């Protein structure tokens, strides 16, 4: 498979080409303008976690995907160099709409692909969230054990369908119908296995217990 090559080798180069193109486009008059003021930052973060976080690391969203480039690394350097945030907005929007031939990244603007398709205002909200946060050093709000639903959404939702948390990841099994007990779920979270990363060390024991309680009590019976 050439996936790992594509994901790892040319990333910095690819991003600088995208940035240069976007800078040119916005310098020229008559560049297509999308109204960024329609963006909803909260929805943008949630959608990023659900649709992008499984493949992309972005600290402000609390995601750790490895398939695609780390967006904090990707945007951090150009941000330091003084590229305007509007450029990051345009690049991100463009990438979601036209990932490019052969890219593993889905086309989020193709109505014939309902699993990936996003409405314009959703695309704008995601691009706004990425542009405002990638490479800024911003961390996600501390996910507390008191709020297992948002903890689940940021740590687990990119891989698991779980209807009570509104997540739709498909890398792991749907947890709507899991028959495991609290102890077993807690062990699975701490130790991972079978393609799931271990969360021991990343989440506190308290958070792991709260998640195990949440998954076993909120699921469908
Ligand atoms: C299935 C994995 C996958 C998903 C899901 C995904 N991407 Fe990507 N993305 C990639 C890969 C791989 C690349 C690098 C290769 C390429 O450019 O196609 C990439 C490249 C990018 C880039 C260019 C970054 C750079 O350094 O070149 C941006 C921006 C981006 N993705 C944003 C997003 C956003 C926003 C979403 C969610 C709407 C998303 N991606 C969803 C895999 C994914
Ligand atoms: C990178 C993807 C990924 C992430 C993130 C992830 N999981 Fe998993 N999870 C998996 C995979 C893949 C399996 C299947 C493991 C197997 O078959 O042995 C799994 C299995 C499970 C199971 C067992 C389900 C069953 O019925 O057998 C539970 C429970 C679970 N995960 C909960 C969680 C929770 C809670 C989180 C967040 C702390 C989480 N997972 C994060 C990929 C992931």
For 176-207, the pLDDT digits (tens) are 989 999 999 999 999 999 999 999 988 889 99
Q: How far apart are CA 18 and CA 155, in angstroms?
A: 30
- Which pLDDT belongs to residue 25? 65
Q: Which atom of ligand 2 is nearest to the CA of 180?
A: 26
Mutate to test the pocket of ligand 2, among 172, 195, 203 (most ligand atoms within 8 A of CB): 172
199 ligand 2 Cβ < 6 A = yes
**CA–CA gap between residue 28 and residue 7 (Å, rounded):** 31
Mean pLDDT of the region 129-144: 85
Question: 50 C-alpha vs ligand 2 centroid, how far in Å?
Answer: 15
pLDDT of amino acid 26? 61
| pLDDT value of position 127 | 98
Token couple for 29 = 């008059």
The preferred substitution site among 188, 199, 217 for testing ligand 2, maximizing ligand atoms within 8 Å of CB, is 188
Q: Point out the ligand nearest to the CA of residue 133.
A: 1
Which residues neighbour 157 within 8 Å (Cβ) at sequence distance 6 or greater?
Answer: 49, 50, 53, 165, 166, 167, 168, 169
175 lines ligand 2 (CB under 6 A): yes
Cα-to-centroid distance, 24 and ligand 2 (Å): 44
pLDDT for 8-59, tens place per residue? 444 555 777 777 777 666 655 444 567 898 899 889 998 998 899 889 999 9
Ligand 1, atom 27, lies closest to the CA of 15
Average pLDDT over residues 162-168: 90
Cα of 26 vs centre of ligand 2, distance in Å, is: 43
Q: Which atom of ligand 2 is nearest to the CA of 179?
A: 26
Identify the residue whose C-alpha is closest to ligand 2 atom 39.
Answer: 156
Burial (0-12, 13-18, 19+ Cβ within 10 Å), 14: middle
- Distance (Å) from CA 127 to ligand 1 centroid: 12
């Amino acid at each position: 498979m050439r996936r790992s090559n594509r994901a790892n080798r040319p990333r910095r180069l690819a991003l600088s080409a995208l940035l240069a193109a976007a800078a040119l486009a916005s310098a020229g008059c008559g560049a297509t303008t999308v109204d960024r003021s329609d963006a909803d930052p909260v929805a943008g973060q949630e959608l990023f976690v659900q649709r992008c976080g499984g493949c992309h690391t972005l600290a402000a969203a609390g995601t750790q995907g490895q398939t695609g480039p780390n967006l904090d690394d990707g945007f951090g350097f150009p941000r330091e160099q003084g590229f305007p945030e509007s450029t990051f907005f345009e690049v991100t929007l463009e990438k979601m709409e036209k990932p490019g031939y052969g890219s593993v990244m889905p086309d989020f603007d193709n109505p014939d692909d309902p699993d990936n398709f996003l409405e314009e205002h959703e695309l704008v909200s995601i691009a706004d969230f990425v542009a405002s946060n990638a490479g800024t050093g911003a961390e996600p709000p501390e996910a507390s054990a008191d709020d297992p639903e948002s903890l689940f959404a940021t740590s687990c939702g990119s891989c698991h369908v779980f209807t009570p948390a509104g997540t739709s990841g498909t890398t792991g099994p749907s947890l709507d119908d899991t028959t495991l007990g609290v102890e077993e779920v807690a062990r699975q979270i701490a130790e991972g296995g079978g393609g799931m990363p271990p969360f021991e060390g990343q989440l506190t024991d308290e958070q792991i217990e709260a998640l195990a309680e949440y998954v076993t009590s909120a699921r469908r019976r």
